[in-house]
Structure 1
């Protein structure tokens, strides 16, 4: 099942399809002719200038970003894609799905002007991160581990998970809100979220029959089969597309 969004084809059957669609929409929208680049910023990393200071509320307290970040490291699941969607190219990023290369799927092929340093996911290499000299670290959808956050915060200003979103359960909209605010681009974040809502609304209208069907997202691990629940983007995307929550999962 595929759909077209602003001249880009995306599969809604893939993992985290919502974030992917947002990223590609904004990649086309936020192309800069150079006039919008932040004064004194590395134009290869920041295409859209933000407004500062900005404050983001997280599980670890409020985080204030005082000025335009020019060297961003994006570690959380989908954080790099969100930054790219907002016109900011991370100098370091984690490859959660082991795509290789720039750490993003084929739907974002060519999005980077310069390949980022690929950082480990569950166990990031803190020395490597420090060597990149970041002025902002995004870890918005991650484990929410205090030790991880403390080590990252020693390197640079770090935006961690929101309250109640441990174990990679940061909602899609909140992830966009937090990252866009940290980058000084809250209005652009609102536009991304509005684009997503319009996209899934259109898909629901095209497939009214899905409203009568339940859905589940399952995975096989070394411990056996498991199912994702509401709060996981894998599952929430299906619900956004019009499917009903599976009774067993709801319980």
Structure 2
């Protein structure tokens, strides 16, 4: 899960050369007629300044060609009324050349041309600079990503770039939406998106009073350790909106280094004092094997059958964490709420 990145001097030099060539011929292909579609009006005045971990980005005028990187900003942009022309490839989720189902539905419903997919190795560690340059963006959004300061600087040579507020991969889903909407000059639409989501979550919490006060943990079992998502991670934070409390053993984890997960040896998993746990698996076979694994059965909630298993990469991605478009996607939060209700009832 470490997201580290190194580049050679040759790559940096190559980037500078490509940038120079790009600047010479950018004016004939980045005009409004081939820009990404918009469906909602601007609500803010430009210029807009956004502070983030690497400084302040000023956006002088309404972006016409938006590129996104990382997770969630694509959906936040679409929900705010802007359809990006280039987005990060979700290789782990849907494979090469495919769009996330809720993203594809959004483009198709509006009849918008599908965006260019920016190659990603699945971790977000390697930034495809050449592809960003080819997309000719006038804004790059990466508020929930793992870009390094060096990568941020290189992306900023291509277009104004918005990074995360504090630490990589820890931006809340609320902030991802708010930052994205503000960068697009559509803060009021961002507020509406959040209000709709809050209403959805409040309604679900009201429908499921059995969630209230129950202690919860979110786990990703590895071969040698159990990864626990910390309170900094949106996967866990979203569950508290349904009425759950973070399990004390998870709340006590040291997150001073900004870590969104914590690896716990299997010898210590019996300390996970959750009433219910959420797990994530690629397929049914892995999920079934977990419930019979003696190491996992040391967790009281697993032994008691109080497990909500999210199975399948699309379903995992829809809630890990949810985005502006996946909250109410049938295989996203609605399915997880159903699984949680069944797990609590065990």
Shorter-chain TM band: 0.7 to 0.9
Instruction: Indicate yes or no: 2:128 matched with 1:136.
Output: no
Distance in 2 between the 1:66 and 1:82 partners? 20
1:103 is aligned to 99
Structure 2: state its 5+ residue gaps: 1-30, 253-346
Q: Give the drift of 1:144.
A: 4.5
Distance in 2 between the 1:160 and 1:107 partners? 24
Picking from 154, 161, 164, the partner of 1:161 is 164
Distance in 1 between the 2:76 and 2:138 partners? 17
Larger relative contact order (Cα-Cα within 8 Å, sequence gap ≥ 6)? 1
Does the 8 A contact of 1:91 with 1:117 survive in 2? yes
Structure 1: state its 5+ residue gaps: 1-38
Distance in 2 between the 1:169 and 1:54 partners? 23
**CA-to-aligned-CA distance 1:122-168 (integer Å, 9 cap, x gap):** 21211111111100000100125111111111110001111x2x230
1:117 is aligned to 116
Secondary structure at the aligned position of 2:37 is classed as coil
Does the 8 A contact of 2:35 with 2:85 survive in 1? no
TM-score (norm 2): 0.57
Q: Give the drift of 1:89.
A: 1.1
Aligned length: 210
**CA-to-aligned-CA distance 1:34-80 (integer Å, 9 cap, x gap):** xxxxx956564323332422221211222111111111110021111
TM-score (norm 1): 0.77
**CA-to-aligned-CA distance 1:86-131 (integer Å, 9 cap, x gap):** 1111111113443244432x33332122122212132121111111
Q: Cα–Cα, structure 1 residues 160 and 223, in superposed 2: closer, same or farther, change >3 Å?
A: farther
Distance in 2 between the 1:40 and 1:167 partners? 33
Does the 8 A contact of 2:36 with 2:66 survive in 1? no
1:225 is aligned to 226
Q: Give the drift of 1:241.
A: 1.0
Q: Cα–Cα, structure 1 residues 148 and 212, in superposed 2: closer, same or farther, change >3 Å?
A: same
**Which structure would you say has the larger Rg?**
2
Does the 8 A contact of 1:94 with 1:103 survive in 2? no
Output aligned runs, 1:10-29, within 5 Å. none
Q: Give the drift of 1:223.
A: 4.9
Output aligned runs, 1:14-163, within 5 Å. 40=32, 42=34, 44-50=36-42, 51=44, 52-96=46-90, 97-100=92-95, 101-104=97-100, 106-112=101-107, 113-119=112-118, 120=120, 121-162=124-165
Does the 8 A contact of 2:63 with 2:139 survive in 1? yes
Does the 8 A contact of 2:219 with 2:226 survive in 1? yes
1:190 is aligned to 191
Q: Cα–Cα, structure 1 residues 198 and 65, in superposed 2: closer, same or farther, change >3 Å?
A: same
Q: Cα–Cα, structure 1 residues 92 and 43, in superposed 2: closer, same or farther, change >3 Å?
A: closer
The answer to which of 67-76 and 116-125 deviates more is: 116-125
